[in-house]
Amino acid sequence: MRKWIAIIVTIPVLIIGWWLVSPLFLDEVVNEEPVTVTVAQPEEAEEATDQQVVEEQEVTTVTMLSGSFVDADAIHQVSGDVKVDGENIRIENLDATNGPDLFLYLVEEGQETKDGVNLGELKGNKGNQNYFIPKDITVKEGMRLVVWCKQFDVDFGYAILSIV
């Protein structure tokens, strides 16, 4: 009988233990292309009519703010570069300690991470990623971009944004 009780207790403990610890050993690599803006322009200025033929042209976005991630502590580590163009946040060469329930937050100076702007779940703990900035949010110098574990309320790392 004791053997069955031990088995019944051990199995859930092992499952929960693996769920909590496994992200430290597993990596999620995401490599998204940089965001480009498509602009419509007339094909030829002399043929300007109501029925203009337009050609789409890709324009590289202009970086307004940037920063580099630093570790929150010795256990939770994040490195990589951040570029902000006003509408999007680009993270390049991200290398973060993996964990459960990781999110990306935009935080004002002096503000707690959980009170900042949630930009969504971290797409992966390694690689290059793009995040959309909500239209009602203005990103300013001095704000922090934080990789945050929602489940345990722990910052993994942050980048302080400064003017390029």
Question: Could you list the pLDDT tens digit for every one of the 164 residues in the chain?
Answer: 888 888 888 888 878 776 666 666 678 899 999 987 655 555 554 555 544 444 455 555 678 999 999 999 999 999 999 999 989 999 999 999 998 899 999 999 999 999 999 999 999 999 999 999 999 999 999 999 999 999 999 999 999 999 98
Say what the pLDDT of residue 22 is.
65
Say what the pLDDT of residue 53 is.
44
Say what the pLDDT of residue 54 is.
47
DSSP state of 27: -
Domain ranges of the chain: 24-31+62-163
Say what the pLDDT of residue 61 is.
67
Structure tokens at 155: 């910052």
CATH topology for 24-31+62-163 is: Immunoglobulin-like (2.60.40)
Distance CA 59, CA 133 (A): 19
Say what the pLDDT of residue 16 is.
78
- Choose among 87, 104, 103, 96: nearest CA to 127: 96
Other Cβ atoms less than 10 A from the Cβ of 112: the count is: 12
Which residues have C-beta within 8 Å of that of residue 115, sequence separation ≥ 6? 107
Distance CA 80, CA 96 (A): 8
Say what the pLDDT of residue 103 is.
98
Which residues have C-beta within 8 Å of that of residue 90, sequence separation ≥ 6? 34, 35, 82, 83, 84, 128, 129, 130
State how far the alpha carbon of 28 is from the alpha carbons of 10, 57, 63, 96, in Å.
29, 33, 26, 10
What's the pTM value of the predicted model, to 2 decimals? 0.75
